[in-house]
Amino acid sequence: MTTSQIFPVVLCGGSGTRLWPRSRATRPKPFLPLVGDTTLFEATLARCDRSAGFAAPVVVTGAAHVDHIEAQLADPAGSQVIVEPSARNTAAAIALAALRLPADAVMLVCPSDHHIADTAAFRRAALAAAGLAAQGWLVSIGIEAKSPETGFGYLQRGEAIDALGFRTARFVEKPDLERAKQFVASGDYAWNGGIFAFGVATFLRELAAHAPAILAAARAAVAAGRSEGHLFFPDAEQFAQAPSISVDYAVMEPTGHKAMVPADMGWSDIGSWDALHSALDCDAAGNAHKGRAELVDCRNVLVDSDGPRVSVIGLDDVVIVVDGDEVLVTTHAGAQKVGKLHGAANQ
């Protein structure tokens, strides 16, 4: 479908508090083995590795995460790591990567803190998206919307393009529950999971058209940047000029060339402890545990302990996390409030 090389562009952004206390400011979510034995970051790289035909990855991150990334990159020397001098949101981060890649390359932009159970389905979608990107489309991989989530943005499907995907009729902000139900029922909507395929030249042209200040700042930051082995440090003063806008707002909504490739690939943003629980292999009663645990008369209980044995009696739909000096016990429904706990908010 395309002869361009596909470069994974892996975004390793902020820390987040919703998986506290396992995730901490100094040990953010992408670098934890939340599902299985590999971290979400390692799994993101493995999905796009060279054996599957991808080019060497470009990781865009902040200085705080570089040590984690160096420790978890399978092939540091064969990768590029762009160290953002400040966090300026996704449009600027992707611009840095685009400016460090060949103009005829295709970028596959991937968040590093999501879980995708079906790697083959992901790769099929990525190849289709890259094919459309090579034709000049700015492509979202649309996550099949299986439930009326109100925490995600949605993509409305337009007319088909070849056999590869569809025009994106529009981006929809996080809807209320009623609209979310309508979206799911219609079958015409997908979740916006933040996975994109862009031709480098196309992306830079559209950025120039719709968010020129971001492109200018990124270009100046790269021009004045410096390399250290596989690390690249954009200039801090120049990069600080970039408006902090997501790629959705800066490019995807305004562009007239947006497309989507629907994908059903066991995706989860692992956005809370109950979402993580859903992504794990559980026993017949819905229970799962990491670390030592004894569960009696429990259903849908997740235990994740870094040491102490956890004994649980009689609970349903609960997550229990032991992490050093912090213990969290929350209902699934309460998991949305984890980020507001004193421990999570005051790290």
276 binds a copy of itself (CB under 8 A): no
27 binds a copy of itself (CB under 8 A): no
275 binds a copy of itself (CB under 8 A): no
DSSP 55: -
Instruction: Look at residues 22, 43, 61 and name the one whose alpha carbon lies nearest to residue 324.
Output: 22
Cα dihedral sign, 22-27-31-37: negative
288 binds a copy of itself (CB under 8 A): no
307 binds a copy of itself (CB under 8 A): yes
Going by C-beta distance under 8 Å and a sequence separation of 6 or more, which residues neighbour residue 39?
Answer: 30, 31, 32, 33, 72
Least Cβ distance, residue 187 to a copy of itself (angstroms): 34
Contact with a copy of itself (CB under 8 A): which of 64, 213, 231, 341? 341
CA dist 93 and 277 (Å) reads: 31
Residues 77-136 within binding reach of a copy of itself (CB under 8 A): none
333 binds a copy of itself (CB under 8 A): yes
Least Cβ distance, residue 37 to a copy of itself (angstroms): 23
Going by C-beta distance under 8 Å and a sequence separation of 6 or more, which residues neighbour residue 218?
Answer: 92, 95, 96, 99, 234, 239, 242
Q: Please identify, using beta-carbon distances, which residue of 37 and 325 lies nearer to a copy of itself.
A: 325
Complete DSSP assignment for 78-114: GSEEEEESS--HHHHHHHHHHHTS-TT-EEEEEESS-
215 binds a copy of itself (CB under 8 A): no
Q: Please identify, using beta-carbon distances, which residue of 93 and 303 lies nearer to a copy of itself.
A: 303
Q: Please identify, using beta-carbon distances, which residue of 104 and 297 lies nearer to a copy of itself.
A: 297
Contacting range for a copy of itself; rule: CB under 8 A; set: 24-32, 48-56, 254-262, 318-326:
318-326
CA dist 328 and 39 (Å) reads: 21
Contacting range for a copy of itself; rule: CB under 8 A; set: 71-79, 84-92, 238-246, 330-338:
330-338
CA dist 43 and 119 (Å) reads: 10
Residues shown for the chain = 347
Task: List interacting residues with a copy of itself (CB under 8 A).
Answer: 21, 294, 296-297, 305, 307-315, 318, 320, 322, 324-331, 333-335, 337-338, 340-344
